[in-house]
């Protein structure tokens, strides 16, 4: 079934549930980053905490050398894609949760594992 047809089949409630899953994933990723000693969660949307996240997560590595190449490291795994941005004049990463295929439990494991892996 084409993606558009699948989304139409969801109806309004399906869109709401899809968005809710996207937000839950963004908040879980934000909470992981915020609690991780190697990363810094940056303000996105309503504030600098995991509860303020919607579908965008902005962060950076605390180690400047790692941070300078963090986007390249993450994207180089080909397991997920982040876009590079600047925050306070320093490089940062931006995750945009935008797929209707979000599975919060599966995806948070993938993302957190990958974020640990790229620190090596």
Domains of the chain: 3-117 (3.90.1150.10)
- End-to-end CA gap in the chain: 40
- Confidence (pLDDT) at 94: 96
* Edge-to-edge strands, sheet with 90-96: 39-42, 56-61, 90-96, 83-87
Q: Does the pLDDT at position 68 exceed 50?
A: yes
Buried b (16+ CB within 10 A) or exposed e, 100-111: eebebeebbeeb
Residue keyed to tokens 């937000």: 23
Q: Does the pLDDT at position 48 exceed 60?
A: no
Q: How many CA atoms lie within 13 A of 19 on its CB side?
A: 7
> CA 22 to CA 59: how far, in whole Å?
17
- Confidence (pLDDT) at 100: 81
- Confidence (pLDDT) at 13: 61
Beta bridge partners of 95: 57
Beta bridge partners of 41: 59
1 — pLDDT class (breaks 50, 70, 90): very low
What pTM value is reported for the model?
A: 0.83
């Amino acid at each position: 079934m084409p993606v558009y047809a699948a989304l139409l089949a969801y109806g309004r409630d399906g869109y709401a549930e899809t968005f809710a899953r996207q937000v839950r994933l963004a908040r879980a990723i934000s909470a992981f980053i915020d609690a991780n000693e190697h990363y810094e969660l940056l303000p996105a949307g309503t504030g600098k905490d995991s509860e303020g996240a919607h579908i965008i997560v902005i962060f950076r590595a605390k180690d400047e050398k790692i941070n300078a190449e963090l986007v390249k490291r993450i994207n180089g795994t080909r397991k997920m894609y982040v876009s590079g941005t600047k925050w306070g004049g320093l490089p940062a990463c931006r995750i945009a949760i935008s797929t209707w295929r979000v599975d919060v439990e599966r995806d948070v494991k993938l993302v957190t594992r990958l974020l640990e892996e790229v620190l090596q």
